[in-house]
Amino acid sequence: MPTVLLTGATGFVGSAAREKLQRREGVKLRCATRHVAQARRKSPSIDWVHLDVSRASGLVHALEGVDTAVYLIHSMGRHGGGGDFAQAEAESATRFALAAAEAGVKRIVYLGGVAPAGQPSKHLASRLRTGECLRAGKVPVVELRAGMIVGSGSESWQIVRDLSMRLPVMVLPAWLEHRSEPVAIADVVEALVYAATAEDVAPGVYGLPGPEALSGGTMLERTAALRGLVALSVKVPFITPRLSSYWIGLVTRADLGIARELVEGLTSDLVSREPSFWPVMGGHRPLPFDDAARAAFKEEAKHLSLRSAALEWMIQHIAPWKKAG
């Protein structure tokens, strides 16, 4: 039975991939995190192992007996969009590749970002460089490049979602005219699981494009329409991406540093130029944008219901006890 190590197993993509891999027959799943005790309290049935790519010690031990390692580690969030996260990511990827080779890992699957038509932002350049560092090692790498991932918990989707629902008038800077190919989290997870478990996947760089190439403005308008909203839009060509990031930080729940990096990555088209991975999966058809957005809204509503139920339980059980005490 092949063993799959899932790094970043508590993150947005990692959590979704973890659930899928847990249900996969014939696969032994090992999940990596820097906070093992906390992860075991939340999910005690999972095989958790400590892994910290910022240092070499312990990496080989975490990778021993692993057939495929899924690399979902991203430093930008930990640096708040600031600091030298690009250098940290490159060094981490190099350490991981070396440890994987020493441990006898047979394949690394990496989720990266789309190479832009123009000059990449620091964030995208770092994503591409991470892939290069992993591929420079001795273990074969399957690199999957995705643009905006549509799903509850995605920073880029949260920006689109919040802007479309909170602004009565949409300000559309020129950079929102650039196109990208948003892809549903469900499709990304299907691709990651296939790349990690199928025997006949050739090493290389593949694209994970959504089925539609859409401008940022179109995504905002269609997201608003799904919620029954009709917002006026005004084109303002002189607003720069950096200035827009401050505006996004005020209107949305996105971290300002991360928002700045994401927005500066939209200064040119983000359309996949690599061979698509969908034919490798037997012609998998990714969800159209509207369906992906509906699924994200449904997942968000489920989380809100769970939080509301937890709050109601606390009010009924904890508050009376505190009052009586």
pLDDT tens column, 95-136: 999 999 999 999 999 999 999 877 888 888 999 999 999 999
* Residues belonging to the chain: 325
Is 194 a domain residue? yes
Token couple for 152? 């509850």
290 with 222: CB under 8 angstroms?
yes
Structure confidence by residue, pLDDT tens digits, 230-280: 665 656 555 555 555 555 655 666 666 666 666 666 667 889 999 999 999
Is 45 a domain residue? yes
Most confident of 19-23, 137-141, 157-161, 236-240: 137-141
Is 272 a domain residue? yes
Is 256 a domain residue? yes
Spatial distance between the Cα atoms of 50 and 56, rounded to a whole number of angstroms: 12
CA distances from 154 to 140, 150, 224, 300, 319 (A): 28, 7, 17, 11, 34
Q: Total structural domains in the chain?
A: 1
205 with 131: CB under 8 angstroms?
yes
Q: Which of 99, 111, 112 is nearest to 139 (CA)?
A: 99
Structure confidence by residue, pLDDT tens digits, 68-106: 999 999 865 444 444 577 899 999 999 999 999 999 999
CATH number of domain containing 224: 3.40.50.720
Is 320 a domain residue? no
Spatial distance between the Cα atoms of 284 and 208, rounded to a whole number of angstroms: 11
Is 26 a domain residue? yes
Note down the domain range covering 225: 3-313
Would you say the C-alpha torsion 236, 242, 246, 249 has a positive or negative sign? positive
Is 322 a domain residue? no
Q: Which of 71, 75, 95, 94 is nearest to 84 (CA)?
A: 75
CA distances from 150 to 12, 75, 184, 289, 301 (A): 11, 20, 5, 8, 15
Is 324 a domain residue? no
The pLDDT mean for the chain works out to: 84
